[in-house]
Every structure is written in C-alpha cells, then in structure tokens.
Chains A and B, each alone.
Chain A
Amino acid sequence: MIEDSGKFDLNDELKTQIETILDNHCHDFTQIVGILLDVQEQISQHYIPKIAAFYIADKLPIKLSAIYDCITFYDALSDKPRGRYPIEVCDSVACKVNDNGFLLETLKELLGIDFGTVTYDGRFTIEKVSCFGACDRAPAVKINKIVYGPLKTREQVRDLLKQFV
C-alpha cells in the first residue's frame, strides 16, 4: 500500500520546482520516469509524496495508477520517506565476497537503525541495493549519487558518516 504522506506540505516553492521540471521535460508524459527522478531529487527526504504524485498526474495526460506503476516498479523511486542522505549499500556478489556484511552491521550499529527506518534526526536511511557498477571499490556505498569505497574498517565508515550533516 501507498504510505500515507498526508503530512507532507506541497508548498508553492515545490509546485514551481515541479513546473520547471515539467517544462524541462516538455510536459512529455513518456518522460515520466525522468520527471519523477527529478522531483524526488528536489524533496529533501528523497521520495515522491502522495500529494506530489497527484499533482503530477493532474498536470500530465497520465493516470495516477501509471505513475504509481513506475514508482513501485523502479528501485530508484520511493514512495516512502527516506533520510536526507540515503545510504545505498551495494549488496551484489562482488561486494558480498568483500565482506559488505561487516559494513552493513557497522552502519546499523553506528546509526542505531535497521533497514527501512530513518535516523532520529532524519539524516540517514540504510538500503540494500543491487550492483551499481562500483565493483572496483567493493565494498561500496552510494550516497546521493556519489560512490564511496572501499569501506573496510569501522573508522572509515565513521569518517564517512561525519561528512554528512
């Protein structure tokens, strides 16, 4: 089910940003995946709130169900609030055999959260993702498009987390 994001405030600033994104995509509904990715990037919690999805469905000749078909199908799109810095941990074989288990456990322990929850200050979420093509830096994580790795010690992980305020 779609998480209720009723508390989310679709303010005028965001509306303008969405309009600009739609303009950049020529109001072309075939570019919906790109539009949703761009909108998600504008929202600090990196997800598509229900109200934003409704708003886009209203502006384009596309059904809300088709929008949610995309949001739920693609891993890069989320309908649930994430941290400001979602930590995507590569969980493919190349990272697994380079002990990403240690990395996952360390992250969980340092942040005090499990998968699918957000840290109390809204900064981080931990997510397992499929290979993002950084096997030469295994075990790797990706935070807001940037890859960090290899992360093999507790100190490295701690230093990484300190960068994000």
Chain B
Amino acid sequence: MENIKYITENFGKYDISSIDSYMSIGGFEALRKAVAMDGDAVAAVLSEAKIKGRGGAEYPMGRKWSQARVVKRPHHCVVCNADEGETCTFKDRELIKNDPFNLIEAIIIAGWTVNAEDAYIYLRAEYACLRPRIINAIQQAEEHDFLGKNILGTGWSYNIHLYSGAGAYVCGEGTALIRSIEGKAGRPRMKPPFMKQSGLFARPTCINNVESLSIVPHLLRNALPYMQAGTKESVGTKLISVGGNVNKPGVYEIPFGISIRDIIYDLAGGVQEGRNIRLIQFGGASGKISDDRILDIPYSYESFAANNLIIGSGSVLVIDERTSVIDFLRYTQDFFLHESCGQCTPCREGNRHIRIFLEKIKNGIHTDEDIRTMKTFATVMPMSSLCGLGETAQNALKSAFTIFPEVFTVKKSAGGI
C-alpha cells in the first residue's frame, strides 16, 4: 500500500529540541503566510479542506474558526486539547513527541485567525514526559519572537501557557477541560453559553484537538497533496491509532478511503496468531462497534455514517475471538462507570445499572425485562445526560444490540426466574 506522509511529514526530519532545525525544513513559513492573510482566508482554507475536529466531535474546523473570530467580545483565547483519553487513542502523543514545533506554530496560527491573546495547552497528566519538549518549544518560539509582543511586526501579542491535566477522562470534554484549567474539579457544565462566547475564564474560547491543529501549518505550506488524498467528502489524510489484538499496533497516517481490511491486515500486520476478529471498535471507548462484515468498507466519514459507525478520535481497536462481546461491553462499561463524574443522574446511575445488567447476562441469569430496561437506559442516557460522556457512553452497547442480537437473547432454561 502506498505510504503517505502529510501530517507526519516532519517526523524524524528535524531535531525536536531546536527551533533552528525546524526552521531549516521550512518551519514557521506557514505562520508568515498566515499573518499576511486575513483570518477569514485562513478559515476558508480549512473549510475547503473539509477538516473535521479530530478529537472525536467531528465539528467542521473552518466553521469553528470563522465563528470564533466574529464573536464581539474581547480577550479571545485558544485552547489546545491534548487530553486524548479515549481508549486506544495515542496519535496526539506521537504528534507532540515527534513534531512539537509544528503544534506550536499551529497554535500561533489559530490565535492569529481568531484574534486571540492567549493560548492554553491542556496536556494530559499521563503524557507528563512530553512536558519538557513543549516547554522548550514555547521558550524557543518566544526567543525568536514568534510569541510575545509584536509578533513578526504585526503589532499582535500572543502567549502560550502549558497546563497539566490530572487523569480525568471527562476533562477531554470542552466545558470540563476549561474548569480544570481554571483550577477546579473537571465537572462539565450545561451549554449554552457556548465555548466560543464564554469559555475559559469567561473569555471567548476556541478549543481544538492536537491533530486538527497540526494539519494547519502543512495546509498553508502546501495544500495540494492533502486535497488530492482521500475521498470527495472526506478529504485528505488521518492519523489512526490501531491497537488491541493486532500484530503491529501503532499510529499510522492513512488517506481517507482505504479499506478497513487494509488497515488491519496490511498496516497493522493482521490479527495475533491469525485468529478471527470478534469485533472492532472505532473512535475510542465512546465509539461504535461492528464485526468483520465491515472489513471491506472504506475508512471515510460518509461510509462510516452509512454503516452506523463513527470515526471519532481515529482509533481502531481490534478484538479477537478470545474475548466475548459481553466481556468487551463489561470492560467498556467499567471504564465509563469509573470515569463518569457523577454529577448528573442519568450518567451516574445509568452506567451503574447497565453494568449490573451486563453482569447478569454474563452469568446467564438475565430476563427479557432486564434487556428491555437496559435498552431503555441506553436510549435515555444520551437524551438526558449533561455532557458528551453520558451521551456517548452507550454507543458500543447500542451498536451491539444491532450487530450481535444473539448475545442478548434470553435462554429458556435461564429465563423467567
């Protein structure tokens, strides 16, 4: 399969501790281009490339930036969400590890586009070992006047601050994330007000994922290879994290449109010891699942939507036949039970009770009534939960109802107790 390197173009090409090395391969040229452009023009480039938020929410990035820049309130800020907590997602780790200056450049371009005064990087505590790289990159950018006062003679001032998360999955959610930066426990809040109007410290805030941001400098430098890759609706390339029972787990850059079979059997080297696939989960713990019937569909937003799947954070978790569907759902449910902040009842109690039902199914003592109640909970939770966590926690379960209905049938001998 053709090997495409666009977002990962700089990987291994420069010394990640030196800004001069980064500039020698064309670093900060995109920023120079951006400051010569109007913010709307930068946002238009993103809209044309049809970039959707790569953290999981899939919100069109160009629209996000153009909406953020027109908010008529002072003290705009940009937040870089480096809190990738979805299970089996580790693409942002690779981006920060191998290309920190590109991220810094992207955050500066974001600030320029949305007229921001400050940027905040929210780095998950689990990636604390990457802190020195980011701090070094920020410092060197400051020394070279890419940050601070009067950047590149434009009269615009901008600073980047690095904040650390502390191991809470829910802090990947925008409102929880900003509370965490504000020094509070990361419990999400109701929207509106929306982030773009009143976010971090009540300032208009534009939150972007590391990967979404990382694409921007590349696009401004040379958009052509990106625009030529992918499909009509899903332009360009994507970083995917493949893990689970595959021979070569890791982060791969792929053009949209290649088949899932190619991802699993070509890139990731197939399933361990040639076993069969039980199920595949896309987009992290909050993603949906399917079995090997989708192996030949293309990896793109439109074909995933048609097959009731989501790309989300871009993770591909392959589970082989040794793990049963119910065990997988129990593991996922354990995760959400642990990570639910406990603030709103549907999520707190829903997760707890569904966990109990799954345990019953595992032990073969469930009844039709249990399954009905479980289905009701799985429907009610997304409608009534406060934040994205509660809304998406049952995605895997709900897709299991359709893909693996046999798992939930009540055996005559066990039922009716």
A93-B244, A93-B319, A135-B90 known; 8 new pairs, CB 8 Å cut-off, are A30-B183, A34-B164, A74-B125, A93-B88, A130-B339, A131-B87, A136-B90, A136-B251
19 contacts between A and B (CB under 8 A): A30-B182, A33-B180, A34-B163, A34-B164, A37-B164, A70-B185, A74-B168, A76-B125, A76-B166, A93-B285, A130-B167, A133-B90, A133-B92, A133-B126, A133-B127, A135-B241, A135-B249, A135-B317, A136-B241
Provide the A61-85 mask, 1 if CB < 8 A to any CB of B, else 0: 0100010011001111100000000
Contact between B322 and A70, CB atoms less than 8 A apart? no
Give residues in A with beta carbon < 8 Å to B. 29-34, 36-37, 62, 66, 69-70, 73-77, 91-94, 96-98, 129-138, 142, 145-146
Once bound together, how far apart are the Cα atoms of A32 and B165, in whole Å?
A: 11
In the complex, what distance in Å separates the CA atom of A98 from the CA atom of B342? 30
Closest to B180 in A: A33
Mask: chain B, 73-102; 1 = CB below 8 Å from A; 0 = not? 000000000001111111011000000000
Q: How far is the CA of A98 from the CA of B168 in the complex (A)?
A: 23
Tell me if A75 and B185 are in contact (CB < 8 A).
Answer: no
A32–B164 CA distance with the chains assembled, in angstroms = 10
Question: Once bound together, how far apart are the Cα atoms of A70 and B87, in whole Å?
Answer: 23
Known: A94-B243, A136-B90, A136-B251. A73 touches B183 (CB 8 A): no
- Most B CB atoms within 10 A — which of A32, A74, A136? A136
Report whether B167 and A136 are in contact in the complex, using a CB–CB cutoff of 8 Å: no
Q: Does B335 contact A (CB under 8 A)?
A: yes
Q: Is the CB of B182 within 8 A of A138?
A: no
The closest CB in chain A to the CB of B315 belongs to A135
CB pair A130–B85 under 8 Å, yes or no, is yes
Q: How far is the CB of A119 from chain B (nearest CB, A)?
A: 23
Q: Who on chain A is nearest to B201 by CB?
A: A30
A73–B125 CB distance below 8 A: no
Determine whether B388 belongs to the interface, using a CB cutoff of 8 Å to chain A: no
Chain A residues within an 8 Å CB radius of B250: 136
Nearest-CB distance from B251 to chain A (Å)? Answer: 7
- Cα of A69 to Cα of B250 in the assembled complex, Å: 36
Q: Which of B245-272 contact A (CB under 8 A)?
A: 245, 249-251
Q: Chain B residues in contact with chain A, CB under 8 A?
A: 84-90, 92-93, 124-129, 163-169, 180-187, 201, 241, 243-245, 249-251, 281, 285, 317, 319-320, 322-323, 328, 331-332, 334-335, 338-339, 341
Which residues of chain B are near A29, meaning CB under 8 Å? 183
Q: Is the CB of A133 within 8 A of B328?
A: no
> With A and B bound together, what is the CA distance between A129 and B344 in angstroms?
23
Identity of the chain B residue whose Cβ is nearest the Cβ of A75 in the assembled complex: B167
Once bound together, how far apart are the Cα atoms of A69 and B244, in whole Å?
Answer: 35
* Highest count of chain A CB atoms <10 Å: which of B90, B182, B243, B245: B243
Q: Which residues of A contact B182 (CB under 8 A)?
A: 30
Q: Given A94-B317, A135-B243, A136-B243, are A75 and B168 also a contact pair (CB < 8 Å)? A: yes
Taking a contact as CB atoms under 8 Å apart, the answer to whether B244 and A94 are in contact is: yes
Report Cα–Cα, A91/B337, bound state, in Å. Answer: 13
What separation, in Å, do the CA atoms of A32 and B185 have in the docked complex? 10
**Chain A residues positioned under 8 Å from B341 (CB to CB):** 73
Chain B proximity of A121: nearest CB distance (Å): 26
Q: How far is the CA of A96 from the CA of B323 in the complex (A)?
A: 9
Across the A-B interface, give the 8 residue pairs with the lowest CB-CB distance, nearest first.
A74-B166, A135-B243, A76-B167, A75-B167, A73-B185, A132-B126, A30-B183, A133-B90
Q: A73-B168, A133-B89, A136-B243 are in contact. Are A93 and B317 (CB under 8 A)?
A: yes
Shortest Cβ distance from A29 into B: residue: B183
Task: List, in ascending order, chain B residues with CB within 8 A of A134's CB.
Answer: 90
Given A93-B285, A94-B88: A69 and B184 interface contact (C-beta under 8 Å): yes
- Knowing A96-B331, A97-B323, A138-B249, the reply to whether A133 touches B84 (Cβ < 8 A) is yes
The 8 Å CB contact of B166, one of A62, A77, A146, is A77
